[in-house]
Structure 1
Amino acid sequence: MNSKTKPAPPPHSTEENIAYLRQMLGELRTVANNEGADMLRYLIEMAYVEAGDILTGLRPLSVRGHRDPAVDVAFKATGKFKL
């Protein structure tokens, strides 16, 4: 290693990263609210709540591999529609 090269900082834990994301989302929510961007504020709020749920263990970090059975139900038309 070159003497001028700094060693890589230790990686943050997943919990620290999610907590950081939640903090940033809280700040973005305030900005969106102050600007009257209601839909953005709502979407940011949902992400903020999701991050909090992950931190408290109410939700898994990822839903990869966990499918909702209703999503796998095929849609079958009942017949032709007349307008």
Structure 2
Amino acid sequence: MILGFGHVGGGDETRQNIAYIHEMLGQLRHVAQVEGADMLCYLIEMAYVEAGDLEAGRRPLSSIKRKGP
């Protein structure tokens, strides 16, 4: 279950999008690893961890406070 999306833009669609991004990054990480692209694998891994943290609610979607519409 995805938690921690009580922010602006934190609805069901946002949760689904973050979960999708996390899944795709996992697949891209595997491809980069198979191809021996070490730096690319590292960068994708960083994004994968960040997406996982967002998905689990360990980090806010953004640390930037935005003004109204």
Q: TM-score, normalised by structure 2?
A: 0.74
The residue type equivalent to 2:30 in the other structure is T
Give yes or no for the alignment of 1:63 onto 2:63: yes
Distance 2:41 2:30 in 1: 8
Distance 1:41 1:63 in 2: 25
CA RMSD of superposed structures (Å): 1.1
Shift of 1:60: 0.6
Instruction: Map 1:3-18 onto structure 2 (within 5 A).
Output: 13-18=13-18
Q: Which runs of 5+ in 2 are unaligned?
A: 1-11
Distance 2:44 2:22 in 1: 10
The alignment-based identity, stated in percent, is 65
Runs of 4+ in 1 over 4 A off after TM superposition: none
Report the structure number with the largest CA radius of gyration: 1
Instruction: Map 1:1-83 onto structure 2 (within 5 A).
Output: 13-65=13-65
| Structure with the higher fraction of residues in helix conformation | 2
Structure with greater contact order relative to length (CA < 8 Å, sep ≥ 6): 2
The residue type equivalent to 2:38 in the other structure is D
Q: TM-score, normalised by structure 1?
A: 0.62
Count of aligned pairs between the two proteins:
54
